[in-house]
Amino acid sequence: AQKVTQAQTEISVVEKEDVTLDCVYETRDTTYYLFWYKQPPSGELVFLIRRNSFDEQNEISGRYSWNFQKSTSSFNFTITASQVVDSAVYFCALSEAWTGANSKLTFGKGITLSVRP
């Protein structure tokens, strides 16, 4: 069975600090997909990124970067020069590739990030 662990539950930083959110996953599949979602205080869930298991290149998008390492089953998310608007709950999620049955998305429990001015 697939599992996602976000061991950090709450992180508090001061604006402009860098912060890394950890995500460790478990799966028996060789083909799978990893996702990050953001849930700001307004409550909606916003898709941030998808990564497939064959692509270990790091991804950078502005102040956001993602480090995928199959050797440690981790898909960590770093925010550089954090801002107050980054305050949110961040979810990591895992989906196994379609095997003839409907694929399901498994979420971690989320990390609450607070960025103080």
Could you list the residues that contact other proteins (CB under 8 A)? 31-33, 35, 37, 43-47, 50, 52, 91, 95-98, 102-105, 107-110
Rounded least distance, CB 10 to other proteins, Å = 12
Q: How far apart are CA 56 and CA 95, in angstroms?
A: 16
Q: How far apart are CA 74 and CA 69, in angstroms?
A: 5
Nearer Cβ to other proteins (9/16): 9
Rounded least distance, CB 6 to other proteins, Å = 8
Ramachandran angles phi, psi of 70, nearest 5°: -65, -30
- 10 DSSP β-pair partners: 112
What six digits make up the tokens of 37?
A: 């979602």
What six digits make up the tokens of 66?
A: 């993602």
Rounded least distance, CB 4 to other proteins, Å = 8
Nearer Cβ to other proteins (111/115): 111
CB 77 within 8 A of CB 36: yes
Rounded least distance, CB 44 to other proteins, Å = 5
Nearer Cβ to other proteins (80/112): 112
What letter does residue 73 receive in the DSSP assignment?
T
Nearer Cβ to other proteins (36/82): 36
